[in-house]
């Protein structure tokens, strides 16, 4: 099963430690499948869907093509 994880590249109000832990938790999701992609959006914060909508659309389109 393909999995795509989108992560904010900007830590926002998180401390450096909590941001690293958050990214590590996202990376743990990649162990659920052998077909995974992790994208860290450097110019996006927590609201990826509004701050980087093109990246969300791209990820969805790639997922659709992967499961066809």
Q: What is the pLDDT of residues 3-13, one digit of tens each?
A: 999 999 999 88
pLDDT band per the 50, 70, 90 thresholds, residue 67: confident
Backbone angles phi, psi at 47, to 5 degrees: -95, 65
pLDDT over 90 (residue 30): yes
pLDDT band per the 50, 70, 90 thresholds, residue 64: very high
More confident residue, 1 or 58: 58
Tokens of 49: 């869907």
- Mean pLDDT, to the nearest integer, of 13-30? 94
Mean pLDDT across the chain? 94
Cα Rg, the chain, nearest whole Å: 13
- What is the end-to-end Cα distance of the chain in Å, rounded? 12
List all residues 6 or more positions away from 2 whose beta carbon is below 8 Å from its beta carbon: 33, 35, 36, 37, 63, 66, 67
């Amino acid at each position: 099963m393909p999995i795509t994880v989108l992560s904010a590249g900007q830590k926002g109000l998180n401390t450096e430690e909590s941001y690293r832990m958050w990214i590590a938790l996202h990376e743990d999701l990649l162990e659920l499948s052998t077909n995974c992609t992790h994208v860290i959006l450097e110019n996006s914060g927590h609201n990826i869907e509004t701050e980087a909508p093109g990246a969300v659309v791209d990820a969805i389109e790639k997922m659709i093509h992967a499961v066809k």
